[in-house]
Amino acid sequence: MFKYGVNTFIWTENFSEKDVSLIERAKALGFDAIDIGIMDPDSFPTKQVKDKLKEVGIEAITLTPMSVNSANMIHTDPKIRENGVKFLKKLVDISVEIGATILCGEIYAAAGYLTGKPRTKEEWKWSVEGMREVALYAKSKGNLILGQECVNRFETHFLNTGEDTMKYCKDVGVDNVKVHLDSYHMMREETNFTKAVEVCGKKYLGYVHTCENTRGIPGTGLVPWKEFFTALKKIGYEAPLSIEAFDPSFTKINRITATWRYYTKTGEELAVQGLRNLKAIEKSL
């Protein structure tokens, strides 16, 4: 049986002290894990989250989009690249402190950063070197996976496919650096869901987001869920499958994700229906 998670972006864009109760809410809704979106590490309620996670008994994952102008490991400005490394180390500290198992997202570069040109060898070198420093730092602190989320070409020119991301992980060369697949992005960039999973294999596939092709309710669109789940089971995938969605009222994230439509009245409703659908699909295999 798969473990299923939910991202806090279904409720809030900026996770703060007032949102700590969402941890308990995720558990009550039947989720095995909570994927906590961290927009501002400096204001993140680390102690409260740590205490609540321990009280509730639910697996935690952390996710962050880095800022284009201030923390970006492929920026031409070396100070901004250095800030990217510092930013991720801060996220590592928070993740280890609260007991998270995975830190993920577009952490190899800033979310939404586009140069208008294909990826360069310099950008690859900068990001690989920066991620290697962060990965070694994470290993010195605990057992934390760094999930590199390959996303669609409209959000990054850097990593778009699972195979390319696996090559990036190999170049970083630290075993806690893994691929993070997201079915929403896979619909735009992969030619075959099975091959995308198999090319990563259990060794390199660290995390999965289960999102519909429209970012609507999982199980209601074009994602080939049976094929995807069969491939994941075949390689022995063990981490959570987490539902991620964004409210159209968000301001920062939606500039990147272009989320403008409501598919349900609330993000929670989307997640609950999606969880029900995904469990039914898994049961039918």
pLDDT tens, residue by residue, 99-119: 999 999 999 999 999 999 999
What are the pLDDT digits (tens) for 173-184? 999 999 999 999
Of the candidate ranges 55-69, 112-126, 164-178, 221-235, the one whose mean pLDDT is the lowest: 55-69
Q: How confident is the model at residue 87 (pLDDT cuts 50, 70, 90)?
A: very high
Q: Which residues of 223-239 are buried (b: 16+ CB within 10 A; e: fewer)?
A: bbbeebbebbeeeebeb
Q: How many CB atoms lie within 10 A of CB 210?
A: 28
In the chain, domain spans = 4-284
Whose tokens are 């402190």? That residue is 97
Whose tokens are 């596939």? That residue is 205
Q: What is the per-residue DSSP string for 255-281?
A: HHH-----SSSSHHHHHHHHHHHHHHH
Residue of 222, 236, 242, 1 lying closest to 100 (CA atoms)? 242
Identify the CATH homologous superfamily for domain 4-284.
Divalent-metal-dependent TIM barrel enzymes (3.20.20.150)
Dihedral sign of CA atoms 64, 69, 71, 72 in order: positive
Are the beta carbons of 154 and 184 closer than 8 angstroms? no
Give Cβ neighbours of residue 125 (< 8 Å, ≥ 6 apart): none
Are the beta carbons of 119 and 109 closer than 8 angstroms? no
pLDDT of residue 187: 98
> CA 159, 185, 101, 26: dihedral to nearest 10 degrees?
160
**What's the angle, vertex CA 231, arms to CA 37 and CA 239, rounded to 5?**
35
**Single-letter amino acid, residue 86:** K
pLDDT of residue 89: 97
Q: How confident is the model at residue 227 (pLDDT cuts 50, 70, 90)?
A: very high
HSE (CB half, 13 Å, CA atoms) of 256? 19
What are the pLDDT digits (tens) for 116-148? 999 999 999 999 999 999 999 999 999 999 999
HSE (CB half, 13 Å, CA atoms) of 160? 15
DSSP designation for 206? E
Q: How confident is the model at residue 66 (pLDDT cuts 50, 70, 90)?
A: confident
Rounded to whole angstroms, what are the CA distances from 258 to 190, 191, 247?
Answer: 20, 23, 11
What are the pLDDT digits (tens) for 245-284? 999 999 888 888 989 999 999 999 999 999 999 999 999 9
